[in-house]
């Protein structure tokens, strides 16, 4: 009896020590069930995506076999062989349809699993950085700053070679003749996404999984280091601050990394008007981003390239980022 007690006691002491260890090591990685769930969904999503791709590859080879059978059938003189070949083509066509349907189904399934993974990661990240994450909404433009500067239309920047693809003055004139004079309604507020083709289902979440699926991160706007000033609206033409909050996919804060910020507008050739920088790690995994400024409304892509801190000696050209976090903003 005593023997058993001693054994239990040992186990309990070991458990207590383990618990104490985890309690002291910041933060409580092991307790975050959401990351486990998220990883399970992520794995399923990846498997589905792999199956989707395989189905589409299979579909492709079946499509080639169909063409081959049809060509052979056309050339075949003997009618019974010809019929056989056409039957084969028909059978294959059914197979093709099945492959295509499979591929599409797996893709949809994978995407919904990916969404579930992202949701769980988000919940996990919010739990992990409870006192840091204040604002979960996607970023928007502060309308008050917008009205003041009236920067409502898009500067469209093109490569010089694009000019000859713009049609001629005559074409333009015949299409729009006197349109301004006829149309007396003021159309001052030109759609800010003019000339940009942001997909309708663009993911503009402030929570994103990295390109290589190594990290999960969140961005939010701060107008000063005081947390109370947090808003989800960025001001136009004003330098302001962001917080970038990163964990790895296992739920551990990502600390001591070099992070480079690159921004651009798809459909334009220009980037940000300033060079924002990570100036401080406020806490493990919580990075202060300073110098962010947007000079235009529209679709922006902001990328955070994560570099290993140990590689600082290498020249810029030699360095490849460990991973990249990509956020889409519709401002």
Interface positions with another protein (CB under 8 A): 147-160, 163, 166-169, 172-173, 176-177, 180-181, 184-190, 237, 239, 269-277, 290-291, 293, 295
Name the token pair of 241.
């601050």
Look at the block and give the residue holding tokens 């059938």.
73
Q: Does a cis peptide bond (omega within 30 degrees of 0) precede residue 27? A: yes
Of 92 and 331, which CB lies nearer to another protein in the complex structure? 331
Of 78 and 184, which CB lies nearer to another protein in the complex structure? 184
* Lateral strand order in the sheet of 323-330: 258-264, 299-307, 323-330
Distance CA 30, CA 11 (A): 19
Q: How far is the CB of 318 from another protein (least distance, A)?
A: 17
Do residues 291 and 277 lie in contact, with contact meaning Cβ atoms separated by under 8 Å? Answer: yes
Of 42 and 289, which CB lies nearer to another protein in the complex structure? 289
Of 284 and 291, which CB lies nearer to another protein in the complex structure? 291
Angle at 135 between CA 262 and CA 331, to 5 degrees: 45
Beta-strand pair 240-248/258-264: unpaired
Q: How far is the CB of 185 from another protein (least distance, A)?
A: 7
Of 60 and 153, which CB lies nearer to another protein in the complex structure? 153
Q: How far is the CB of 171 from another protein (least distance, A)?
A: 8
Name the token pair of 227.
């947390």
Beta-strand pair 286-292/230-231: unpaired
Query: What CA–CA distances, in Å, run from 37 to 12, 20, 111, 215?
Result: 28, 25, 16, 15
Name the token pair of 88.
């084969």
Of 146 and 217, which CB lies nearer to another protein in the complex structure? 146
Of 124 and 276, which CB lies nearer to another protein in the complex structure? 276
Q: How far is the CB of 293 from another protein (least distance, A)?
A: 7
Q: Which of the 8 DSSP states describes residue 264?
A: E
Length of the chain, in residues: 331
Q: How far is the CB of 254 from another protein (least distance, A)?
A: 23
Look at the block and give the residue holding tokens 């090591």.
25
Q: How far is the CB of 243 from another protein (least distance, A)?
A: 16
Distance CA 321, CA 260 (A): 9
Q: How far is the CB of 300 from another protein (least distance, A)?
A: 15
């Amino acid at each position: 009896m005593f023997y058993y007690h001693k054994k239990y006691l040992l186990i309990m002491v070991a458990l207590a020590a383990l618990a104490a260890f985890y309690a002291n090591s910041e933060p409580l990685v092991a307790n975050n069930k959401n990351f486990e769930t998220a990883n399970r969904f992520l794995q399923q999503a990846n498997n589905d995506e792999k199956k989707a791709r395989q189905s589409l590859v299979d579909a492709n080879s079946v499509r080639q076999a169909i063409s081959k059978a049809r060509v052979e059938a056309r050339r075949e003189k003997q009618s019974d062989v010809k019929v056989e070949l056409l039957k084969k083509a028909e059978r294959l066509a059914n197979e093709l349809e099945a492959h295509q349907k499979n591929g599409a189904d797996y893709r949809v399934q994978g995407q919904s699993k990916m969404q579930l993974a992202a949701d769980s990661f988000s919940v996990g990240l919010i739990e992990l950085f409870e006192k840091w994450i204040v604002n979960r909404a996607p970023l928007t433009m502060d309308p008050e700053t917008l009205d003041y500067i009236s920067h409502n239309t898009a500067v469209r920047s093109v490569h010089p070679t694009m000019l000859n693809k713009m049609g001629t003055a005559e074409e333009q004139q015949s299409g729009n003749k006197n349109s301004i004079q006829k149309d007396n309604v003021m159309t001052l507020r030109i759609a800010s996404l003019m000339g940009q083709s942001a997909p309708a289902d663009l993911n503009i979440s402030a929570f994103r999984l990295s390109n290589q699926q190594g990290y999960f991160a969140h961005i939010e706007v701060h107008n000063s280091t005081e947390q109370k000033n947090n808003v989800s609206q960025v001001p136009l033409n004003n330098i302001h601050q962001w917080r970038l909050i990163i964990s790895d996919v296992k739920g551990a804060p990502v600390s001591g990394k070099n992070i480079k910020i690159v921004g651009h507008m798809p459909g334009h050739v220009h980037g940000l008007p300033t060079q924002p920088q990570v100036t401080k790690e406020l806490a493990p995994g919580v990075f202060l981003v300073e110098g962010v400024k947007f000079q235009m409304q529209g679709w922006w892509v902001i990328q955070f390239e994560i570099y290993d801190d140990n590689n600082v000696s290498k020249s810029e050209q030699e360095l490849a980022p460990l991973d990249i976090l990509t956020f889409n903003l519709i401002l």
